[in-house]
Amino acid sequence: MYFRLNASCSLVENQINHQIMAFSKAHLYDLHLRWLASVLRALCHPARLRILLQLAEEGEKSVEEIAKIHPLSLPTLSKHLTSLRVVRMLTHKDKWPYLLYNIDIRTIRKLRGRVNSFFDALEKAIELRTRK
């Protein structure tokens, strides 16, 4: 990276060092909130949402079959599948020479419950605050 040497050089270096040395503080939060955040983060791309809808509608599919309706390269699609698999939204099994993906309904139900609980808690807190 190129740095221009001037009076603000130390400020730029400090900002870069701060970014490099920063670390996540997510571990300091409640486990349920961390789980919810990780799953919602995995859902934050339209390709991943479409993959889930596709598997819900069509059932178990290989990467090649999933790719037929997506304008993505296989490596990019594979990364999206991995993101969903890491948070257990998808199951997978080897059926040589393919890897078959499907939705894990248990995680879907768990997510729905936790999202509903989260929004119920928000609504309740707002109601309590506005009554005062």
- In sequence order, what are the beta bridge partners of 99? 94
pLDDT digits (tens, 9 = 90+) for 118-130: 999 999 999 999 8
Structurally, how many domains does the chain consist of?
1
Residue 10 covered by a domain: no
How many other β-carbons are positioned within 10 Å of the β-carbon of residue 100? 16
Residue 21 covered by a domain: no
SS3 labels along 48-72? HHHHHHHHHHHCCEEHHHHHCCCCC
- Looking up residue 82, the CATH number of its domain turns out to be 1.10.10.10
pLDDT digits (tens, 9 = 90+) for 31-87: 999 999 999 999 999 999 999 999 999 999 999 999 999 999 999 999 999 999 999
Residue 23 covered by a domain: no
pTM: 0.75
